[in-house]
Amino acid sequence: MICFLSMEVCGFTFEELGDWLEQAGEKRFRAAQIFDWIYRKGVLSFEGMENLSKELRKRLAESLRFPLLKLAAVQESDETSKFLWELSDGKRVESVLIRSFDRRTVCLSSQVGCPARCAFCASGREGLIRSLTAGEIVEQALHIDRFLKEKGERVCHLVYMGMGEPLENYDAVLKSIRILNDERTLHISQRRMTVSTVGIAPEIRRLAEERLFVNLVLSLHAPNQHFRKKIIPFARKYPLEEILSAMDFYAEKTRRDITYEYTLLSKINDQEEHAIELASLLRGKQCTVNLIPYNPVQGLRLERPDRANVCAFQKILESRGIRTTWRYTKGDDIAAACGQLALQKPSGLTNFGATS
């Protein structure tokens, strides 16, 4: 028995929409037509779904919420476009489109605000406001895919690295993964999806058992628990050893490589001794450390390390057998985008519903 709590069409899996139609006395196969209109043809109102009867279109419009997001602002640079969305309750979240060669990656938000309250991140400064529904997560990818289609492009990678802690909104995030992976929707391979977490040990283990192939990233930011708690207040909840052992379990179960993200804060966690301790913490693990030089957030008195410091930190890790990646950007890349746009005031809302 399925509980249709949210009644958002983009929060339905294909099977759930079929069940909903059946319970409403309609034919199940209409689900394929509706998915086709939404995810392939990009139609954003039931009214525009011409092969459905007028009566069914009216019924769908009365019962199912769609679209859920209004575009409040877009900010474009060469490599990224940031989209600020207004939700039906007036709250705001952001998504980021990242262009890298022919790869189009969307960075999705999973919550409004964030419970982790990392010292360097704008998203969590007011704590958690609310979790997003599966439909609100799916629609971020859907609308950006529509935007790309006009240029003959499509979304091919997803990263759950926008606002929020995805594993604190486990069910909705998981459902959005399943929906967006479906061949009748955007059909994004699970191997091209990445979930980034602050580290919720039981949920990492739970995710490992889901028979998914998504990549998992742990935001580590410090080489020991004591220090980590200072940078990430949320880290108090789970001992670091418990989180790392859950990450190992994930790697073992899914055969996916693990990535650890380390945001480098000048003179705080970027010193030689931190790199040495980090290398010994991760010794023997099949993993990559992604070094992210801190991107300045207005109002925070933190500094970005200079290039030479990042190189020195990297060298220590590499010389101890730890694989690393990093990019020194001007500050407009994916991590820089986290939480920053959502602080702006909305202007000139675009209702996607009116554009079908």
Interacting span for ligand SAH (CB under 6 A) from 94-102, 174-182, 195-203, 275-283: 195-203
User: What's the min distance (Å) between Cβ of 158 and ligand SAH?
Assistant: 13
Options 67-75, 96-104, 194-202, 306-314: segment touching ligand SAH (CB under 6 A): 194-202
Verify binding: residue 181, ligand SAH, rule CB under 6 A: no
Q: CB–CB of 292/264 below 8 Å?
A: yes
Calpha distance 256→218 (Å, rounded): 13
Give residues with Cβ within 8 angstroms of 36, minimum separation 6: 184
Among 38, 44, 193, 335, indicate the residue that binds ligand SAH (CB under 6 A).
Answer: 335
Integer Cα distance of 314 and 191 in angstroms = 27
Residue 338 is among the residues annotated as catalytic for this protein: yes
Interaction between residue 196 and ligand SAH (CB under 6 A): yes
Is 231 among the residues that bind ligand SAH (CB under 6 A)? Answer: no
- Note whether 142 binds ligand SAH by CB under 6 A: no
Active-site annotation holds for 156: no
Stretch binding ligand SAH (CB under 6 A), from 3-11, 116-124, 280-288, 341-349: 116-124
Contacts of 141 (CB under 8 A, 6+ apart): 95, 106, 108, 155, 158, 176, 180, 186, 188
Residue 99, by phi and psi: left (phi above 0), alpha (psi -120 to 50) or beta? beta
Interface with ligand SAH includes 148 (CB under 6 A)? no
294 belongs to the binding site for ligand SAH (CB under 6 A): yes
338 is an interface residue for ligand SAH by CB under 6 A: yes
User: CA-CA distance, 135 to 25, in Å (whole number)?
Assistant: 23
Q: Sign of the C-alpha dihedral, residues 39, 208, 198, 289?
A: negative
Active site residues: 94, 338
Binding site for ligand SAH (CB under 6 A): 114, 116, 120-121, 161, 165, 196-198, 219, 261, 263, 292, 294-295, 297, 335, 338
